[in-house]
Structure 1
Amino acid sequence: MKRILKLSTAAALLLAAALPLQALETDLLFHMGNLDFAGNRSAGDTTIPGTVSSWGIDASVSQKIDDSITAQAGFTMDPVLRNTLSANLSYNSSYFAIEGGPFFGVFNTPGSLLKTGLRASLTAQIPGTIFLTFESGSTLGASLVQTGDYSEEMSEIIGGFYVFDAICSLHLLQNTFSEKDAKGLVKSSFREYSFQADVFQKNVPYNVLLKFAYQLQSKFFDYAPSSTQTLGSLVLGTRITVRVSPLLSIVTGLETNLYTFGIDYLSGLTASDTFLFRAQAGVKLDLDQLTSK
């Protein structure tokens, strides 16, 4: 716990120093929940999560360099991918956008304090009509030989369209973390198929994001005997962003399971009597408002 707090503090200081104050937009979110497997889940565990099993902080800063180029730095704590620092440059034109840069897994295992990777995305769009995004990232040097070696992989495909005062989109998300521990290979993965609708209106100081998703999370233990633990969940979620002032916006969100069931080694289990959730709360700051006055 102390190591994570120190890491979060150091990351926040790095992000604050990464870009000058002028024209900065800053996001800071805290999230927690019991819908995810705990990071230290064992091969013999046959239960569905019930207590709070994950929490974390997401922080990012971004700055427009000109009308089409934006620089961004971020730190995320994810139940599957764990701790990640990233830096990206994005270019946005009328009909396409590209984004890319390095990311670094930090303090994710005792045997590997820093792991480097690359991430990139490409978007094709017809403004105000439709868009299609492909995103992929992976750590470099993915062979897992020594205890503590690990690899991270992430990918997402998004297809969306605009309708009245909403942006509707279909998402396919896949995150994978593979680790070599003292007993063998452990692979954690998260896959999500979702429909999302971001509802907004001009001159209204809030917007609402609605999500309906089918999620699969699994842990594979390459031990003798090997086993795969998988949970499937139908999830309903919402996120509300309220613009309190030109400087400050407040963000709150909640995802909860409609139905959760076990697959593979967890076959036959259900969470009918357990409230499973992911909650988030945070702020968005447009620091350019401070320097423009």
Structure 2
Amino acid sequence: MKKILCVFSILIFISTVSAMDISILGQFGNNGMSWNSATPIADSTFPYNNWIPGCNISITENTPDGISFSINYILDPILRSLLTGTINYNLGIFKLGIGPMAGLFNSWSAPVKAGITSMFGIDVLGIFFAGISVGSSIGAPPVSTGDYTQEYNTLYAGYYLSNAVCTFSLETKNLYLNTAPDSHIVDRSTEYKFITELFKKNMPYTITIGFSALKLTRDYGNNVLDSLFNLIVKTKFSFSLIPGVYIDGLFDAVVYSLGLDALTGRGPASNTLLFTAGIGVTIRPGLFRTSPGQTSVEQVPSSEAQQATDMETQQSTTSSTEAQ
């Protein structure tokens, strides 16, 4: 407990001194293909013990001239370990972003895999927002054992209500990994999501609920595919300990699952649960209350709306994870 409190205090100190927004979310679940196997699933049902860790770490710095910098690290069931850094330009209602990305230590033979990420968004505060975010490894296709490529694409749109922000999104992810000189696996996911974030003025918490349709596929080559179609209920709860410091918890549960391709008739057993759970902390120094006479959290312009627009730079690399 002392170690946790120490780390928490250090994060608050760093965030306060630098005025950077910091978000850390740890995840754990079994809704994915095993990272420890490169052969087709032989079990009579989809295994429930494919335990996969995950995390989402985000650091964002906003400047007065409409430029922001962000660094995001994710550990994702499909993309695995991925680091991105973007420079975002706010041009009125438009937002442009571009920067490098790198796969980190996904294999010893390719500890760093370079790539590029970019995004374009439009946000009319109080009315609607939309955008697209893409990222891909660069260089020649994988040839040697352990080499790989990562790719993601996100298309999203949403609208504001008086006490809610609603978001529709389509996310695709792809990892191509050479497992041997003459063999490979390709992990893919396609997810359609509808998410609603509920908040109320003067209340110290927000609730996010939604659902998604997710298709997971692992391609072993030679037309051998393991595929799973899941319907997921998504929940997230965020509580403000003090202005600018939030504790986040999430739980995504698969309510219906269907095996496809080589997994036809071999989906998860009816008495098992596929899920993703997570807990984390978000620190936003701009919302700290420093004296009784200062502006309250609820009076800070567009505080709730800013949480929604922040999603534009994290949408796809997020997840699961987000698991939002």
Q: TM-score range by the shorter chain?
A: 0.7 to 0.9
Determine the structure 2 residue equivalent to 1:61. 59
Equivalent residues of 1:26, 1:284 under 8 A apart: yes
Q: 1:124-273 maps to which residues of 2 (within 5 A)?
A: 124-182=122-180, 183-222=182-221, 225-271=222-268, 272-273=270-271
Alpha carbon RMSD of aligned pairs, Å? 2.3
**Which stretch has the larger CA shift, 88-97 or 134-143?**
88-97
Structure 2, unmatched stretches of 5+, are 1-10, 292-324
Residue 58 (structure 1) shift: 2.1
Deviations 1:233-252 (A, max 9, x none): 00001111111102421000
Match 2:49 to one of 25, 48, 51? 51
Equivalent residues of 1:192, 1:215 under 8 A apart: yes
In structure 2, the CA distance between the partners of 1:278 and 1:163, relative to structure 1 (3 Å rule), is same
| Helix, strand or coil at the partner of 2:17 | coil
Q: TM-score, with normalisation over the residues of structure 1?
A: 0.88
In structure 2, the CA distance between the partners of 1:94 and 1:234, relative to structure 1 (3 Å rule), is same
Residue 24 (structure 1) shift: 1.2
Residue 104 (structure 1) shift: 0.8
Higher strand share: 1
Structure 1, unmatched stretches of 5+, are 1-14
Equivalent residues of 1:96, 1:122 under 8 A apart: yes
Equivalent residues of 1:135, 1:156 under 8 A apart: yes
Equivalent residues of 2:40, 2:220 under 8 A apart: no
Following the alignment from structure 2 to structure 1, what is the Cα–Cα distance between the partners of residues 203 and 30? 33
Deviations 1:114-163 (A, max 9, x none): 11111111112322112211111101014111111110000000011122
Residue 191 (structure 1) shift: 1.0
Equivalent residues of 1:19, 1:63 under 8 A apart: no
| Corresponding letter in the other structure for 2:121 | T
| Helix, strand or coil at the partner of 2:32 | coil
Deviations 1:174-196 (A, max 9, x none): 01000112141210011101111
Deviations 1:242-284 (A, max 9, x none): 1110242100000001101100010112332211100010001
| Corresponding letter in the other structure for 1:193 | Y
Q: TM-score, with normalisation over the residues of structure 2?
A: 0.79
Equivalent residues of 2:165, 2:197 under 8 A apart: yes
Following the alignment from structure 1 to structure 2, what is the Cα–Cα distance between the partners of residues 55 and 25? 24
Following the alignment from structure 2 to structure 1, what is the Cα–Cα distance between the partners of residues 284 and 161? 28
Equivalent residues of 2:69, 2:87 under 8 A apart: yes
| Corresponding letter in the other structure for 2:118 | A
| Helix, strand or coil at the partner of 2:280 | strand
